[in-house]
Structure 1
Amino acid sequence: MKTSAVLNGATIKKENKLLKNKPLIGLIIFGVIVSILNPRFLSTANLLNILRQTSINAIIAAGMTFVILTGGIDLSVGSILAICGAVSASMLAGGVNGYIVLIVTIILGTILGAVSGSFISYGKLQAFITTLVAMTLLRGATLVFTDGKPISMGFGENAELFDTIGGGYLFGIPVPIYIMIAVFAVCNYVLKNTKFGRYVFAVGGNEEATKLSGINVEKLKVKVYAISGGLAALAGIIITSRLGSAQPTAGTGYELDAIAAVVLGGTSLSGGIGSISGTITGALIIGVLGNALNLLDVSSYYQMMIKALVILAAVLIDRKTHK
């Protein structure tokens, strides 16, 4: 009996380990298949390009992970990216110091996220509806602010600073990749090694029990959406820097890519289960998928359909796995 129990326990541990590493295994298998179909995939230039393109979605997805872990959703991140990018470009064009622009823009995104979180926590509104309204409202505000036209960052020292953030290189590696790694390192530490991180998992696991244990769930949710908004603003700065201007339509559809990255990374949409390491793997899967379709000359119309099917498959797998 004891031997049987030990064997069963070992089997369960192996299964859990396999499930935990499933996104990474999927990424490796996918990478091998693409490299066979197109040898250019494994070139250093292409791999760095994938990482740079993935950095935007990965940074947004890091914030989205906190939200989904609590059982919520944030559809406003793409619009926050757009409005923050427009504000930062406008401030730079007006001659404001680049460091001040960076701080103010991230604070703006954090506040916008916190406002949505407040309506969800204290107003008892559904996260889907609240962030959908925020998405529409902020997209309209961006079009009004920019008059529907791109805003150039201008020239001078401020523009040079922002050029480095989005388009610079350090030791031959694009700066956005370093920013992505830093964001994931901090988020991973917060979730794994702080009380706040444990409370995030607790809320997603059982919100009522968490409340009864004396944790201020409402305040925690506001903080979670604030983190999501702040990281979306950071992504807005990077993409504005890379393009050299703020586009009024920037960030359209980014919320879906971020959600897909989180789910592909093994985070449950019902909350309480997931990891930052899984999210970055999910973001890389989406980045590799997009890059592979481009290398294989697949039409952009078909790419949208394929991405949609991948997201659907991820949700179905998530539902089956965590059931």
Structure 2
Amino acid sequence: MTQSVKVRSGTVPPPTAPKRLSVPGGTLGSWFLPVVAAVIMFVVIFAVAPAASSYLGLSLLLSSLLPLVLACLAQMFVIAAGDVDLGIGSFVGLVNVTVAAILPTHTLPGILLLIGLVVAYALMGMLIAVRRLPSIIVTLGMSFVWLGLAILILPTPGGTVPEGIVSFVDWSPPLVPGTIVAIVVVTVVVALFLNRTRYGAVLRGSGSNPEGIRRAGWSVVRTKMALYGIAGLLGVLSGIVLSGQAASGDPNIATSYVLLSIAGVIVGGGSFRGGDISPVGTVAGALVIGLIATLLQFLDVPSSYQVGTQGLVLVLILVLRAGVTWWRRRVETGGLA
């Protein structure tokens, strides 16, 4: 998180130096708890169903979570700008029907449309920044646009996803399932970009301290466009992966991603203050969100209780996170907080 200080034009305001351990994935307190929660869930699942720890078991367990991980990371970049995206689910659905209904017969127009969707996301960020519009209203309105376009392209579920995409998503390297490789690579790339590059610090600072970024010579409008553009790119990747797994198109295939992605970011240590995010925590939060339902099924929890139990688990994690934050602040302030 950056501070507003006078510096040379074109430089980045120096970040604060809190008394905590800093790593490429963010501060220890922000990502540690969701990572522990995800590990505990894996341990319990493996204890209840040992077959889940095999190569095939891990592939089946995690394959459906990769699109959610990408959607949560997309939501994380929007939340980094201090905004909330209520259209990510419909956007992923639009990408899905584009891949299933347009790419097989019109490859070039389909690719151009996917690129145009990323550009449209960046322009949406520019509109929000320039006109100072509420992101909730804009993204909610755009969610209907994305859904309407998806229904125009594919009114009913169907279509055929190109075999190349299906084969790529089903990639099975030796020793480690391809889904694990993909999750690790995406997590490392995003974490290093946001926490170990100058422009990553600028992007985080534009959400937490836009005035400081402006005084440093950076355009807040452009940084918000970049955050939304990256979110759009991750949303397109989420839709492509989801299409490869489903092998068909459905405009409503990812409607649940709106709330799940927000929950994944918050459970993963992020906040709505802008700039306060953790890529590692977000990925862990996405895994926690996705594994809760699987864990409850393995524990034979009746379906009528599963929704309530999922909510209780999430609330428990958030309470523990609040406790960790309170304890860390006491340590930093010498017991004054």
User: Kindly tell me: are residues 217 and 287 of structure 1, through their superposed partners in 2, closer, same or farther at Cα, counting changes over 3 Å?
Assistant: same
Shift of 1:86: 0.9
Higher mean displacement: 263-272 or 300-309: 300-309
Higher helix proportion: 1
SS state of the match for residue 92, structure 1?
coil
Shift of 1:187: 1.4
Question: Aligned partner of 1:147: which letter?
Answer: P
How far apart, in 1, do the equivalents of 2:249 and 2:204 lie?
A: 36
Structure 2 residue aligned with 1:60: 71
Q: Does the 8 A contact of 2:30 with 2:281 survive in 1?
A: no
Structure 2 residues without counterparts, runs of 5 or longer: 1-18, 22-26, 330-337
User: Kindly tell me: are residues 82 and 215 of structure 1, through their superposed partners in 2, closer, same or farther at Cα, counting changes over 3 Å?
Assistant: same
SS state of the match for residue 85, structure 2?
coil
Return the match for 2:112 from 100, 104, 110. 104
Give deviations 1:187-228, integer Å, cap 9, x for gaps: 122102222210122123222332233221111111111111
1:187 and 2:198 correspond: no
Instruction: Figure out how many residues of one structure are paired with residues of the other and give that number.
Output: 304
Structure 2 residue aligned with 1:156: none
Shift of 1:37: 4.5
SS state of the match for residue 65, structure 1?
helix
Give deviations 1:50-107, integer Å, cap 9, x for gaps: 221221111111222222122111121111111111112222331537xx85x53541
Question: Aligned partner of 1:75: which letter?
Answer: L
Shift of 1:317: 5.8
Q: Does the 8 A contact of 1:108 with 1:233 survive in 2?
A: no
1:48 and 2:51 correspond: no
TM-score, reference length from structure 2: 0.79
Give deviations 1:292-320, integer Å, cap 9, x for gaps: 12222335554333334445555666667
1:88 and 2:96 correspond: no
Question: Aligned partner of 1:198: which letter?
Answer: A
How far apart, in 1, do the equivalents of 2:114 and 2:177 lie?
A: 21
How far apart, in 1, do the equivalents of 2:29 and 2:321 lie?
A: 14
Return the match for 1:298 from 266, 285, 301. 301
1:221 and 2:224 correspond: yes
How far apart, in 2, do the equivalents of 1:189 and 1:19 lie?
A: 16
How far apart, in 2, do the equivalents of 1:316 and 1:218 lie?
A: 35
Identity fraction in percent = 26
Q: How does 1:1-323 map to 2 (within 5 A)?
A: 13=20, 17-18=28-29, 20-94=31-105, 96=107, 101=110, 103-104=111-112, 106-153=114-161, 159-171=162-174, 173-312=176-315, 321=325
